[in-house]
Structure 1
Amino acid sequence: MAMMNRRRVLGLMGAAAFAPASARVMAQASAPSDPFPSRPITLWVPWPAGGATDLTMRLLAELASQRLGQRVLIENRAGAGGTLAMPVLQQAAPDGYTIAQLPQPALRAPHIQRLLWDPIRDTTPIIQLTGVTFGIVVPAASALHGVDDVFAYARANPGRITIATNGVGTTPHVVMDELFARRGLTYVHVPYKGTSEQMLAVSSGQVMVGVNSNGFAPFVDNGALRLLATFGEHRTKRWPQVPTLKELGHGIVATSPYGLVGPSGMAPAVVKVLHDAFRSAMNDPAHVAELAKYDQTLDYLGPEDYGRALREAFAAEKRTVERLGLAKGGG
């Protein structure tokens, strides 16, 4: 009997010895993961460092970092008309630590060429931020003083006028293609990876005309470039003397709203954390003032509405590409 009691005691002691380890394993299995975010977040910007979008996104990332308690690190991946962040998102884990700016060309490119990624299928919408002021600029000393002068020169000098944009398939390129095609005119397209590089080329006379986003603002304000027209619904507050394409009778309005997205399949709770931090950051007076430097204003949409807007824009871009005959390879 004494032996049985001793064995029982030893058994109970053994069970007690193993219990903490077993409990730890069970606790680890059932415990939630570390609160998001627990490490830095990478925000991919598909434009070169130093351009208008890069500068505003860097400030936004800094402000969002303060709210998230973790750094938001900017990575630039320029080229291909602003679409090179898409392959990164497609391959990234949907954990919220990899996000990207999604510009309008990413909604257009799949209709122009065959691509392995899809801007709707492969993303999770987080927040729409703002839109872009596009414009047509020429060197200050240019003899071209209006959009009609550009067409007149192209008509008198077939295939000789050089026009720079920020890449094939970008909004400036599509708009100029449509304007020239309507008139049966041709031009030499000179694509650039970034706005700063392009504006330097135009202001120095290497290219006759530049069409780009509002990164041209400092060059216009310092007198190096002349702004012929903008693409918005109304004239800008910054350059109220400059007409819009719509006002000039061309029937085109293009603002290319953009926002932030993550990989497909992100958890709603993670999306909410990112959305809330970036919404607060985008409304920070410092960010609003930075956007104003490029005549941009806030154009907020939450995840659901932004997702709907992206789907509508994706369908609209397909119609535009088909109308202009830009589709290639059955894309």
Structure 2
Amino acid sequence: MNLARRRLLVRVAGGALTALPFVQSTGAPAAEPFPVRPVMLWVPWAAGGATDLSLRLLAELAGAALGQPVVVANRPGAGGTMAMGLLTQAEPNGYTIAQMPQPVFRAPFVHKVAWDPVRDITPIIQISGVTFGVLVASESRFRSLEDLFAFARERPGELSIATNGVGTTPHLVLEQLFTERGMRYIHVPYKGTSELTLAVESGQVLVGVNSSGFGPEVDAGRMRLLATFSAQRSKRWPQVPTLRELGFDIVAMSPYGLAGPRGVPAPVVKVLHDAFKKAMYDPRFIEDLARYDQELAYLGPADYAKACRAEYAKERAAAERLGGARGAVN
């Protein structure tokens, strides 16, 4: 082969090598940074409720830390467990996460589900818990919990009580308070706090039991709070007794956090955790929680995973104790 021919082949070969995609010397593809696109946060409650509004603010703050938006989408229904189905179908890449309310740890002992709340999630961070309370309209005849019991005894099956869904903490507390004592009531489940509050205020139902999204209505005098489910009296409503003070050994605060599908890589979990932890401690978020009588209850990934397992075990034990028919209470 002459010299000119050899030079031509070298130039062609060099051009072909230049056109090949870059490959690291290790043979492994370069890891994609996270995140490079928006993160979807599923909220298993209706839009406009206290939890939804708080998580929207948290998402906004976390998005700023991540450098990508955190988009909030609602999937209400099934007592707050709808997001579990979404997580089991999602890729474990960190771009799909969801709020984990207490009912997801109870649901497997109440009815058949296609997922496991411990096996099928990657815990990211615990955020807070909620204050539950028994509410009536401000003009209601009911002034105390005992008034409700007296009405239920005198007029069986006429006391209508709204909650945020079948199998939720408020519903199961009602089962302990009424059904287990031989009193009947009409359970009226709603998908969100806004609908429930309107129903109680307008007289569509006589009583509501819900998380502290009712706070503004109570503060404005449109609703009356008869009792809370907390271990201690609320700083916001110190005049309102707890169920425990009234003689019922019931405490419920439903801690909640965020999780992804099973198998999210640890580095991605860390990025999400750090962003949401920073957002949690932003004064704006702390102030927003205070509006609903809530405080931070931070746990990191490892401790939150332990807490999830503990809650699941507690719900199992409670379901066995109550025969499984009515689920469990926190």
What TM-score results when the alignment is normalised by the length of structure 2? 0.94
Matches within 5 A, 1:10-29: 10-22=8-20, 24-25=22-23
Partner Cα separation in structure 1 for residue 205 and residue 321 of structure 2: 28
Partner Cα separation in structure 1 for residue 3 and residue 325 of structure 2: 85
Partner Cα separation in structure 2 for residue 247 and residue 217 of structure 1: 21
Which deviates more from structure 2 when the two are superposed, residues 257-266 or residues 135-144? 135-144
**Please, which of 115, 119, 136 is the counterpart of residue 138 of structure 1?**
136
- Where does residue 66 of structure 1 map in the other structure? 64
Moved over 6 A (4+): none
**1:38 partnered with 2:40:** no
- Where does residue 322 of structure 2 map in the other structure? 324
- Where does residue 296 of structure 2 map in the other structure? 298
Q: Is the 8 A contact 1:178 1:324 kept in 2?
A: no
C-alpha offsets along residues 96-138 of structure 1, whole Å, 9 cap, x if unaligned?
1110111011111111111111211111000000000000011
Pair 38,27 (structure 1): closer, same or farther in 2 beyond 3 Å: farther
- AA aligned to 2:118 is I
**Please, which of 156, 159, 172 is the counterpart of residue 158 of structure 1?**
156
Unaligned residue ranges in structure 2 (runs of 5+)? none
- Where does residue 272 of structure 2 map in the other structure? 274
Q: Is the 8 A contact 1:95 1:270 kept in 2?
A: yes
Q: Is the 8 A contact 2:80 2:103 kept in 1?
A: yes
Partner Cα separation in structure 2 for residue 257 and residue 5 of structure 1: 79
Count of residue pairs brought into register by the alignment:
326
Matches within 5 A, 1:91-240: 91-240=89-238
Partner Cα separation in structure 1 for residue 24 and residue 264 of structure 2: 26
- AA aligned to 2:142 is L
Partner Cα separation in structure 2 for residue 27 and residue 93 of structure 1: 29
SS in 1 for 2:40: strand
SS in 2 for 1:228: strand
Which deviates more from structure 2 when the two are superposed, residues 226-235 or residues 179-188? 179-188
Q: Is the 8 A contact 1:41 1:96 kept in 2?
A: yes
Partner Cα separation in structure 2 for residue 150 and residue 182 of structure 1: 15
Partner Cα separation in structure 1 for residue 21 and residue 185 of structure 2: 73
- AA aligned to 2:11 is M
Which deviates more from structure 2 when the two are superposed, residues 154-163 or residues 266-275? 154-163
Partner Cα separation in structure 2 for residue 13 and residue 269 of structure 1: 44
Q: Is the 8 A contact 1:130 1:300 kept in 2?
A: yes
SS in 2 for 1:254: coil
Partner Cα separation in structure 2 for residue 168 and residue 255 of structure 1: 17
- AA aligned to 2:152 is A
Instruction: Please report how far the alpha carbon of residue 324 of structure 1 lies from its aligned counterpart in structure 2 after TM superposition.
Output: 2.9
Which deviates more from structure 2 when the two are superposed, residues 216-225 or residues 252-261? 216-225
SS in 2 for 1:121: coil
Which deviates more from structure 2 when the two are superposed, residues 154-163 or residues 35-44? 154-163
- AA aligned to 1:277 is A
Instruction: Please report how far the alpha carbon of residue 208 of structure 1 lies from its aligned counterpart in structure 2 after TM superposition.
Output: 1.1
Q: Is the 8 A contact 2:190 2:196 kept in 1?
A: yes
Instruction: Please report how far the alpha carbon of residue 263 of structure 1 lies from its aligned counterpart in structure 2 after TM superposition.
Output: 0.6
- Where does residue 83 of structure 1 map in the other structure? 81
SS in 1 for 2:82: coil
Partner Cα separation in structure 2 for residue 10 and residue 26 of structure 1: 28
- Where does residue 254 of structure 1 map in the other structure? 252
Partner Cα separation in structure 2 for residue 181 and residue 324 of structure 1: 12
SS in 2 for 1:24: coil
Instruction: Please report how far the alpha carbon of residue 321 of structure 1 lies from its aligned counterpart in structure 2 after TM superposition.
Output: 2.5
- AA aligned to 1:205 is G
Instruction: Please report how far the alpha carbon of residue 176 of structure 1 lies from its aligned counterpart in structure 2 after TM superposition.
Output: 0.7
C-alpha offsets along residues 139-165 of structure 1, whole Å, 9 cap, x if unaligned?
112221111111111111112211111
C-alpha offsets along residues 269-293 of structure 1, whole Å, 9 cap, x if unaligned?
0000000000000000000000000
CA-based RMSD of the aligned residues comes to 1.7
Q: Is the 8 A contact 2:47 2:74 kept in 1?
A: yes
What TM-score results when the alignment is normalised by the length of structure 1? 0.94
C-alpha offsets along residues 234-272 of structure 1, whole Å, 9 cap, x if unaligned?
111100000111111101110000000001100000000
**Please, which of 239, 243, 246 is the counterpart of residue 241 of structure 2?**
243
Instruction: Please report how far the alpha carbon of residue 224 of structure 1 lies from its aligned counterpart in structure 2 after TM superposition.
Output: 1.4
Q: Is the 8 A contact 2:23 2:29 kept in 1?
A: no
Instruction: Please report how far the alpha carbon of residue 33 of structure 1 lies from its aligned counterpart in structure 2 after TM superposition.
Output: 3.2
Instruction: Please report how far the alpha carbon of residue 219 of structure 1 lies from its aligned counterpart in structure 2 after TM superposition.
Output: 1.3
SS in 2 for 1:30: coil
